[in-house]
Homo-oligomer: A and B are copies of this chain.
Amino acid sequence: MDVGGKPAPKTRKTSWKKDPAAVKEDILEVATIAFAAHGLSGANINEIAAKTETSKRMIYYYFGDKEGLYCQVLERVYASLRSSEDKLNVAGLDPVAALRRLVHATFDAHSNAPHFIRLVMIENIHNADYLRKSEIVPQLNRSIIVKLEEVCARGKAAGQFREGANALQLHWLISAFSFYNVSNKATFSASFGGALFGRPAQEQLKAQVADMVLAAVVIGYDPVAWGADQSD
């Protein structure tokens, strides 16, 4: 009955909010930070609840248990990163420029999404047990592959890309750089110093990485960034 859906959820009458969506969002926001900081077993539900506008009981009311909360945090953060990737439009660009733009954007997106990185690290510690249960994540991830496939196809059609160029492998390559750069910053710095993680070094790294990817895919590409400054 009544197709129009529920009455606009914004109408708060007197004292209470009765705004479940907002409460859930609040919990997810806090939980994201907590799980990203301490992991699944390391995060503390009481602490999470304390930083919330609501109470521990509500966490269990809406999410069932700790794992349920964790799963939704995971899905939310995946969706957020992929949506930031989707904003990128490379359809009009020359394939080489498009690919370079994609590499730069992925590198930056990872740099700017530390919560995502940490949660994926944590999920890998758990052998992706929770991610595998998700129905939305695999679908989310299609989009980046589609985008790369499209660029590859155009590059090959233009005779610029090698025939072996492969979207999945490309994504693996680009992700490896971009992910490791954030995920292993702590141990890498502890082992070798922080020289690579300052502003200029990161820009140079980004340019070099793009150059490497292009050199791998583009026929006769002549890398320029290695040892030189390069901007987009």
| Interface residues of A, Cβ cutoff 8 Å to B | 38-42, 118, 120-128, 131-132, 137-138, 141, 145, 162-166, 168-169, 171-173, 175-177, 179-181, 183-192, 195-196, 205, 208-209, 211-213, 215-217, 223, 226-228
Residues of B within 8 A of A164 (CB): 226-228
A39 touches B190 (CB 8 A): no
A180 touches B190 (CB 8 A): no
A168 touches B183 (CB 8 A): no
Instruction: State in angstroms the CA–CA spacing of A123 and B172 once bound together.
Output: 23
Instruction: State in angstroms the CA–CA spacing of A10 and B190 once bound together.
Output: 38
Instruction: State in angstroms the CA–CA spacing of A188 and B78 once bound together.
Output: 13
Q: A121-B183, A168-B196, A217-B226 are in contact. List 13 more A-B contacts (CB 8 A).
A: A41-B41, A42-B125, A123-B187, A162-B226, A166-B227, A172-B196, A173-B177, A176-B176, A208-B216, A211-B216, A212-B216, A215-B215, A216-B223
